[in-house]
Structure 1
Amino acid sequence: MAGQPAAAATPPPNPDGAAPNVVARISQWADDHLRLVRNISTVMAVAGVMLLLRSVRLTSKFTRSSDIPVEFIRKNVKLRGRLHRITENGLEIEHIPITLPVISSWRKEPCGVLLIKLAGVELTETGKVWLQKELKPSQVLWFQLLGKENSALFCYLLVNKGRFFSVSLNEEILRRGLGKTVLVKGLSHNSKIYWRIHRNLLKAELTALRKGEGIWKEDSEKESYLEKLKGSWREIWKKDSYLKKNGSDSNLKKESYYDRFKRSYETWKENMNNHSLVLKFRELMSRIHFRRKE
């Protein structure tokens, strides 16, 4: 009796066979819908960038002083803004955030203005009139955060003069004798720029005093100013003194040459620091730096 033919041996099931099969199907589907896959990847990339920008507040618009991080004021960050109007309380300026093509156009910006006061300057009535004439509506300017009191921000205002450089509006007012120097509210004595800010303001005021500009035309005003120098401003005046009375005449002469070069270099450096492109880059880096610290 012939034996029954042996049944063909069936291969054992491969437990890993399902995985390659699924991968192959996904790959085939991706190849068939290549354009859709690319679009999805693009959307996810854009969404990721937008979330990143939002997380580091690179494009945030500040509409109230409370919106500004404390670190921005402590580090004296410079921001860009557009003038709305000048009031008795100060300047109302709309903050202009860092804008990015396409992404910024998708988002609706909040409305609101910041109340800015000229740091270290007590404006006269003539100074207020001059300020109204000097600044144009919607004029773009930079403001450096120095201090804060309630809803007001005390700032150094920088106005574009020419194509590349800016000048300090605070110092210009004092140079014209349209105001008097006062201590900057909210600026910490431990700040790196505390003495530099007050020294520059005092220099500008002394220029007006020497030329008899504005309020310094009257001798009585000059006398009261000199009395002030003997008091609270004496320390600042000493720190700003370039020629000291000790040493020989030759040493004084050499020192004056050095100080003249030093002043020229500091002026050039200040002008470069106030270049609009430099200010934008610094604002960008400040936002990234402060976000990392949070």
Structure 2
Amino acid sequence: MAGQEGGQPRNYIARLSEWADAHLSLIRNISTGMAIAGVILLAKSVKLTTKFTNALEIPIEFIEKNVKLRGRLHQITEQGLEIEHIPIVIPIISSLQRRWHTDGLLLVRLAGVQLTPDGTIWLKEELKPSQMMWFQLLGRKDSILDCLVVVNKGRFSSICLNEEILRQGLGRTARVEGLTHESQIYWKLHKRLLQAELKAVKRNKGIWKEATFLEKLREQLNDNKFMQKLKQFATWLRIRL
């Protein structure tokens, strides 16, 4: 009895050892797979927490997948919005990356919009210094990013600057750089921008505002060749007298 009782544990251990030897490759594959998955997850997390200081630093897959990034406005120029990228904060990874962060701004252009000078003035008046905003990546040309830019207005509302500019008649719709005509997002976005522009046309706002009768008459008189010659003759006559 004692020999049988003492032999059972050793028998179980022997069987467990045989099973482990037989399935050693499976165990290794599982461990390797978990390790690879961990590395991939870590790599994605590092990308999301990286502070981009130049448009060329942004991974191409971010642009292809139209990733949304957030940032803080620094300046509005004729070329676009200069934005400081504010990455997602993951405590452990972010603490390791602090030493990598450097100064630099991303130049963001309103995708699908041909901005007028009045549109630039409107942006400077409406946007606050250091205002936080989200910008969705649609395309990249050299060091310029073409994006949809969204800002918060109040606690529960937000506006897309691309659409609002067109809605106010402060720009025209343009080709969305970076998107192919075959992509679903291209037609969805183009429709939204055209609808915004149409509202400005119907309301005679901005560049779509019709001139009054007196303004049209004054413009015609200024462009009339006879009137121009008459002004020249009057100037000549005044000098002679």
Cross-structure match for 2:81: 91
Residue aligned with 2:89, SS: coil
Equivalent position of 2:22 in the other structure: none
Q: Which of 185, 204, 227 matches 1:212?
A: 204
- Of the three residues 61, 67, 72, the one matched with 1:77 is 67
Q: CA deviation at 1:163?
A: 2.1
Post-superposition CA distance 1:36-74 (Å, at most 9, x none): xxxxxxxxxxxx99x936874231111111111111111
Distance 1:56 1:97 in 2: 10
The residue that corresponds to 1:243 in the other structure is none
**Following the alignment from structure 1 to structure 2, what is the Cα–Cα distance between the partners of residues 67 and 76?**
15
Give the secondary-structure state (helix, strand or coil) at the position aligned to 1:117.
strand
Q: Give 1:103 shift.
A: 5.1
Q: SS in structure 1 opposite 2:48?
A: coil
Deviation at 1:208, TM superposition (A): 0.4
> In 1, Cα distance between the equivalents of 2:145 and 2:121?
21
In structure 2, the partner of 1:62 is 52
Secondary structure (helix, strand or coil) at the match of 2:102 reads: coil
1:185 to 173, 177, 190: 177
2:166 match: 174
* Alignment partner of 1:157 is 2:145: no
Identity of aligned pairs, percent?
63
Q: Distance in 2 between matches of 1:210 and 1:159?
A: 25
Matched letter for residue 90 of structure 1: G
Which ranges in structure 1 are unaligned for 5 or more consecutive residues? 1-47, 220-294
Distance 1:102 1:52 in 2: 11
Alignment check: 8 A CA contact 1:54 1:60 kept: no
Q: Does the Cα contact within 8 Å between 2:46 and 2:93 map onto a contact in 1? A: no
- Which of the numbers 174, 182, 190 marks the counterpart of 1:198? 190
State the shift of 1:164 in Å.
Answer: 3.5
Query: RMSD value over aligned CA atoms?
Result: 2.2
Q: Could you tell me which amino acid in structure 1 is paired with residue 90 of structure 2?
A: L
Displacement of 1:111 in angstroms is: 1.1
Is the CA contact (8 Å cut-off) linking 1:53 and 1:59 kept in structure 2?
Answer: no
The Cα of 1:127 is off from its aligned counterpart by 0.8
Q: Name the TM-score, length of structure 1 as normaliser.
A: 0.55
Alignment of 1:274-293 (within 5 A): none
Q: CA deviation at 1:105?
A: 4.6
